[in-house]
Amino acid sequence: MKILVTVKEVATVDDAFEIDGTAIDERYLSADLNEWDDYAIEEAVQLSEDGVVDEVVTVTIGDEETEQTIRQALAKGADRAIRVWDDALDGVDLLDVGAKVAILEAVVGAEEPDLVLTGVQSGDDSFGATGVALAEAVGTQWAAVVNQLDLENGADVASVHRELEGGLEELTDIDLPAVLSIQTGINEPRYASLRGIRMAQRKELDHQTLADLGVDSEAVAGDLELMSMYEPESESDTTVFDGSADDTAGQLAELLREKGVAQ
Amino acid sequence: MSDILAIAEHRQGELRDVSLELITAGVELAEETGGDLHVAVISGDVDTYAEQLNREGVDTIHTVAYGEEFNHDVYTQSVTQLVDSIGASYVLGPNSVNGLDYLPAVATRFDVPLVTDVVGLETNEETLTATREMYGGKVETTVDVEGTPAVVTIRGAEWPVAEGAGSADVEAFDAEIDEDAIGSSVNGFEEVAGGDVDISEADLLVSVGRGIDEEENLELIEELADALDATMSSSRPIVDAGWLPANRQVGQSGKVVTPDVYIAIGISGAVQHVAGMKGSDTIVAINTDPNAPIMDIADYAIHDDLFDVVPALIEQFS
């Protein structure tokens, strides 16, 4: 069995930042592996270690700078990586779900995995939709927001728990092949070992262009256009306690006593 | 004259609030386009749901009596057929776990735009403009959506629930469900947030988040909870890490709490967390980041390191 894991490098924003046009000024951004994808990688690697899966391949849409993040996934135990980038993607400020799916669909077509794992969402644009949209595009089954996955060797069905709202889980069987979007908390993602990091340097990291994949550059133009970005107006009238920790703790203690919740 | 189709959500025999919020969003959009608002309800006791969905501004309610609980294949097929039959320009659904389990597939099937987790919507004759957050709520963006039908999922609790009795026509829609194409089956449900403590009963919650850094630092928060005779709860990352059991989690996927006082310690205030605690009478936030989203809903705030403030607070009560 082969698993394809979609891996995204996301930008995290400093506490204080500035907006430049329709983007956050690069000086206030740092790159990181998308948190949800970290759990998807771990799930795939565990299935590989358990002997259920023969090969774990990652796919990333990203420029050359994302290779450092991709190597993290390889260091954690993925077998090889595909990175898709193209001049046509340069300067696109918002890659919408349809555009991502057009690219990933071609990769799934070439790799023919039995299972695709994505993160539930990405920490930057948070569409939360790529996995399900991809499944429909490639004509397989899917499940969104999976927080438990049971998969037997050679099975044609995956048993999953889907995390619904309010502490309720849905127990569902999904025909394979399928795309599952993986929720945080499904496992405990490992840290890459030194040995893993060394081995990752030797693993295959294949760069492909849209032409290599046979994807028309029109297909990644997208239907959404980012028009503006701004800091949300704060509607709160928060009382801020100032001073040293002793001062602020004293003010808070007084408040709690006033409210009658502490003695 | 663009028509709108809003898809209701229900679970275990109850219509979920977001269904009535979708009607409000749909009515607003229909006023702008001059089109009709259609509402669809699929599976379960559709006739009872249709009565509850019959609110002011709804023109037609379509019922699809097939199955009991949510199944993404049944929903995808039904909604696709409804959109074709109505000729809807905009499809509105909830940005819920189930909404995100079928609406992306509907958009892909039609090869049309999808925009999720929307907090504001407006339209002129040609373009739909959606407002949505990025980077965990640090910024808001406006996005123009080109092409119809466009599929939109709205964030819960952003629009008020629709009030006022309606006079919609209720029509049974005879969806042709291709059972061979159903590749998923729901076998049951499981409650995960049970256990010895019910955080939703507490008057004072001391709630801890990612800012605590290490599992052993939780002792500090336990000590505070003891000193205050309070109950300890947490945000999602603490439960994900296995440091506290699931019954301590406040938020969309955990418990909804409404204590007299909620003290958020090292919690940034992601929307999923806020959904579970914004009904608290008084919210106190202790966080080094004055721009953290939690500050938008905090009544009182301390912009300082929890490792300085919490020991000082314990001192106040010992």
CATH for B199-317, options being 3.10.20.30, 3.40.50.1220, 3.40.718.10, 3.40.50.10860:
3.40.50.1220
- A157 Cβ under 8 Å from any chain B Cβ: no
- A127 Cβ under 8 Å from any chain B Cβ: yes
Touching B: A residues 27-86, CB under 8 Å: none
Q: Does position B194 have pLDDT exceeding 80, yes or no?
A: no
> Which of chain A's residues have a Cβ under 8 Å away from the Cβ of B111?
98
Local confidence band at B193 (pLDDT 50, 70, 90 cut-offs): low
Give A132-181 pLDDT, tens digit per residue. Answer: 999 999 999 999 999 999 999 989 999 999 999 988 999 999 999 999 99
What local confidence, expressed as pLDDT, does residue A234 receive?
A: 73
Domain boundaries, chain B: 4-181, 199-317
What local confidence, expressed as pLDDT, does residue A63 receive?
A: 96
What local confidence, expressed as pLDDT, does residue B318 receive?
A: 86
Whether the ω angle into residue A177 lies within 30 degrees of 0, i.e. cis, is: yes
Distance from C-alpha of A41 to C-alpha of B122, rounded to nearest angstrom: 39
What amino acid occupies position B110? F
Element (H, E) at A200: helix A194-202
B121: which strand partners?
B130
Distance from C-alpha of A222 to C-alpha of B192, rounded to nearest angstrom: 39
Nearest alpha carbon to residue A77 among A55, A99, A61: A55
Strand order in the sheet with B150-154: A224-230, B139-145, B128-134, B114-123, B150-154, B90-94, B4-7, B37-42, B60-64, B169-172
Q: Which of A143, A229, A240 lies nearest to residue B139, judging by beta carbons?
A: A229
What local confidence, expressed as pLDDT, does residue A112 receive?
A: 98
Mean per-residue pLDDT, A186-210:
97
Judge: B188–A171 Cβ closer than 8 Å, yes or no: yes
Domain B4-181 identical in fold to domain B199-317: yes
Give A220-262 pLDDT, tens digit per residue. Answer: 988 999 999 999 887 678 999 999 999 999 999 999 999 999 8
Tell me what ipTM this predicted complex has: 0.95
Q: CA of A11: which chain B residue's CA is closest?
A: B135
Q: Domain B4-181 is of which CATH architecture?
A: 3-Layer(aba) Sandwich (3.40)
